Structure 1
Amino acid sequence: MKTKIITLLLLVNCLVSFACDLCKKNQPKGLEDITHGEGPEGNIDYIIMYSAIIIVGYTLIMSLKYLIKPKEKEDSHIKNLVLNENNTSS
């Protein structure tokens, strides 16, 4: 029952998050039906938006890269320095 309620709430949230008819008409071509309110008004707004997309994409790629292969096998890695220090003091 709990999963049905959560699913219903998520579906309703998706329907509400789309733009209304007036906002669709006022949005620039390609961005209509995405959000309410005014869209980007000039070239600077597009530059800011695409720069943010590039930064977030790069951050996502690098975080996945270091989560999948963290390269902790190098002798200079901080983890190995701490482990080796604890082994020599025993």
Structure 2
Amino acid sequence: MKNLKQKLTLIFLLIINFSWACEACKLAQPPVTRSYTHGAGPQGNLDWVIVAVVTAIIIYTLIFSVKYLAKPGEKKSNHIKYSILQD
């Protein structure tokens, strides 16, 4: 129960962090990142390229992590997972 309370508190604090950005920071941000970052946000074209590349990497790794969690594809009988599963 204590662990659940800690997780709920952390989630609550993260939500509050996004919703209570100061008005000066909100006005300085571009419309795309408004209310998600603190400060000026991405300024130039290079910043937007970096954001796009990082977003593509995150989506790529998310897709493959879900894919290999759902269907790992290991079929060899001497794979290490079988030594763990037999115990």
| TM > 0.5 | yes
Counterpart for residue 79 of structure 2: 79
Structure 1 residue 41: deviation in Å? Answer: 0.9
- Aligned residues of 2:18 and 2:35 also touching (Cα < 8 A): no
Change (3 A) 1:67 1:12: closer
Structure 1 residue 6: deviation in Å? Answer: 5.5
Identity %: 40
- Aligned residues of 2:30 and 2:41 also touching (Cα < 8 A): yes
Task: State the Cα deviation string for residues 2-30 of structure 1 (Å, max 9, x = none).
Answer: 55676356324421334211100000122
Write the distance in 2 (CA, Å) between the matches of 1:65 and 1:9: 28
Identify which range, 4-13 or 20-29, moves more after superposition.
Answer: 4-13
- Does the alignment pair 1:27 with 2:29? yes
**TM-score using structure 2 length:** 0.70
Structure 1 vs Structure 2 CA RMSD: 3.0
* Paired residue total: 80
Counterpart for residue 50 of structure 2: 48
Query: Which aligned runs of 4 or more in structure 1 are off by greater than 6 angstroms?
Result: none
Counterpart for residue 39 of structure 1: 41
**TM-score using structure 1 length:** 0.68
Counterpart amino acid of residue 79 in structure 1: H
